[in-house]
Chains A and B, each alone.
Chain A
């Protein structure tokens, strides 16, 4: 409980934002930041704790998007049911890609490559297959009822995405403290040594990948409900794969708070860019890419790393917030 408390405090503070401001601009900004925090937490579980860098998390995000949209529009499934089926579908895609690549022994660069390729295959298929609306995209019919997972105001959406982020953070914290989490970190640090000590590395990675995909797919399902429109470039596009890894790396890779911190920073940077230069395509990503290089070069443990270093000097009690730190 002690280790979950900081998460609950942070979430409670964020939950009060709509009581302070009703500005749609602010809420919209926070919803997008939280969405990236959720997707990034998915990436963080596999990449941060497991050391398996995926460059294709769009595969799970997009699957969530499309499954929830297509079930509603083509099969009349309830939106909430669609939401959970979308998450399950994303987890399934994660399990399949994971099983294929980990069983083949793909590591490091090769794993990054193969995940990238899977996301691209899905993008191309989604841009030509009739069921996805091909090039036109899929529109979810406007139906502003809570039963249909659509709301007049942005506030319920905000609370839902915040709840999802909170859930993902608590989940990752529990994993961190579990045997499974210890195995996962062992595999990241030295896969061969972990295997030699009896850790089933393939199964551990596969479990992490499935959970990671499910979390990211939840982001995709939410995206579809929030914007009510998706196409292949949004759902399976490289932008989401990049933001998914950017948030945890900037915030602090392999930490529970990293993705949330990183997402807030990334989205703030994105908005600032837009303010300064107008809505020019590409410039926000130029900034993201530069920030990625700078962070890797100068602060490999991200914001959380900087905070930990400073905190280490002041010696706050009970700030053990990352696996790194607890290791020593």
Chain B
């Protein structure tokens, strides 16, 4: 048995990592909850956002946390445009087509990044990247604590938007009853695009929170998105609170299994958990008609 001196820091670290997972999952679940599609381009868009944050730092000298202020609206517009002008029109309203279009987008974005920047792995150096915060027996890296706080703030902000603004109400209306919403004068195509934009904006924030401590290469986003898929399925497709709790839970599980099993098996563990969750909890979540 491991003593609490090791266990508590591991759990706290897991929570910090889990917060970023939760944010990626939040974007995914939001899009699923409203559009009822699984966005296979989510990983590629996260990678694109990480590259954007990287170059904002390298070329413009922007601190990642400042870059978030710029990239978030940019990626919102990108997501809005993708849904409004590419995915929506190309899909002809068929689920199978949406699958293929988002897969096609993922292939295009990921390989365009590979073509432009090669397979090199890049990192940025920040003065404060190695600063630590002491909480009880644990020393936590400052960027991860910031990430945790920001994610919680974003989640609360998103909840407020959904609860109190007209757009938020429209999004919830479309998610519940598309036809009814349309009949009440809501522009469904616009709301779909807004939702896709919000989901993509979550990725821009996640990328800016990741880049101080993580690396970026053309495949960097994929690892996060498979974890995000797991979280979303675990927490229930379309459930925002499920994504948050699921994200934190998976972060802790990963941290603890890394402690017991070692790093390389950790990745298989996540996939295994993912498949298991998909296979074992079919009821409710799988009511969708293909």
Contact = CB atoms under 8 A, between A and B. Distances in A.
B74 to A, nearest CB: 21
Interface stretch (B183-191, B243-251, B253-261, B269-277): B269-277
Contacts of B267: 124
Name the prevailing secondary structure of the B interface residues. helix
A113 B107 CA distance: 15
A242 B267 CA distance: 23
B99 A107 contact: no
Contact of B104 (A51, A114, A290): A290
Contacts of B264: 128
Contacts of B226: 117, 120
A282 B104 contact: no
Interface stretch (A18-26, A62-70, A98-106, A156-164): A98-106
On chain A, which size bracket covers the interface? Answer: 35 or more
A76 interface: no
Contact of A283 (B103, B115, B229, B280): B115
Contacts of A120: 226, 271
Given A117-B226, A282-B114, A289-B108, A108 B103 contact: no
Given A117-B274, A117-B278, A121-B275, A289 B96 contact: no
A192 B288 CA distance: 12
B127 interface: no
Nearest to B267: A124
A8 interface: no
Given A110-B288, A280-B115, A292 B278 contact: no
Contacts of A300: 92, 97
A105 B108 CA distance: 31
Contacts of B103: 55, 242, 289, 292
Interface in B64-111: 86, 89-92, 95-97, 99-101, 103-108, 110-111
Contacts of A198: none
A107 B86 contact: no
Nearest to A100: B279
Nearest to B89: A297
Contacts of A229: none
Given A104-B286, A105-B286, A289 B106 contact: yes
B278 A285 contact: no
B95 A286 contact: no
Contact of B96 (A51, A191, A286): A51
B229 to A, nearest CB: 6
B111 A293 contact: no
A109 B275 contact: no
Given A109-B95, A112-B99, A296 B90 contact: yes
A70 B15 CA distance: 42
A296 B278 contact: no
B100 to A, nearest CB: 5
A51 to B, nearest CB: 7
A53 B275 CA distance: 17
Contacts of B279: 100-101, 104, 106, 114
A181 B49 CA distance: 45
B236 interface: no
Contacts of B179: none
A281 interface: yes
A285 B89 CA distance: 22
25 contacts: A55-B99, A105-B286, A107-B290, A108-B288, A109-B37, A110-B38, A117-B275, A118-B275, A120-B226, A124-B271, A128-B264, A191-B290, A282-B110, A282-B218, A285-B110, A286-B111, A286-B115, A288-B107, A289-B106, A292-B107, A293-B90, A293-B100, A293-B108, A296-B100, A297-B90
